[in-house]
Amino acid sequence: MRKKERAVFVTDKLEELYPVVPVPLDHRDPFTLLVAVLLSAQCTDKRVNQVTPALFQLADNPQQMAKQSPIDIRAIIRPCGLSERKANNIRDLSRILIAQHGGLVPRNLENLEALPGVGHKTAQVVVAQAFGIPSFPVDTHIHRLANRWKLTRSKYVNGTEKDLKAIFPKEIWNKLHLQFIFFGREYCPARGHVPADCPICSVVAPVRAAKRG
């Protein structure tokens, strides 16, 4: 099976399994999404969704968040890990949004990536899920799937992102990124994965039995 054929099969199978894909992180608007994605670094979406109701009750917009003490923010987000750094970043980016962007979350990657604690992947998630701008955020999980499905040979996330953007139509990037995530969690985990039982690996990357004798 050639790379393009594998890509078509992957797209069709993911669409069959996940015709509708909700955004995993609970949010109300671009700002609360930005904060939730920042919190998700080295933390599960489930844990983030358990923490953010209390955080957004404290402050759910840049104006309110900018007034909070990092200590108070940290007390709420501690279960997410890296709480001291994340608390400082949330407070500081809120102040920058007010000072430089009129209190609004910017719609472009350059301005988003300039915010404290916001890397390339976080910025792409925000533009895709908050503003509907075509993007393909690639984390270590999507990187793993792309390599398993022989859609890339890159050892690095940035290379995988480039390869996936080249092979999949731009108009499906936003949905496809989420479909990758849901599929990986249900069928294609990092550990304990059985390729023969995987609806995609078993077809695009079958493991051949070793010859005897």
Hey, which residues are catalytic here?
121, 139
Contact 34, 126 (CB under 8 A): yes
Amino acid (one-letter) located at 27: H
Please give the Cα distance from 61 to 95 (Å, whole number).
11
DSSP state of 78: G
Please give the Cα distance from 43 to 126 (Å, whole number).
17
Residue 97 phi/psi, 5-degree rounding, is -60, -40
Exposure class string for 21-37: b at 16+ Cβ within 10 A, else e: bebbbbbeebbbbbbbb
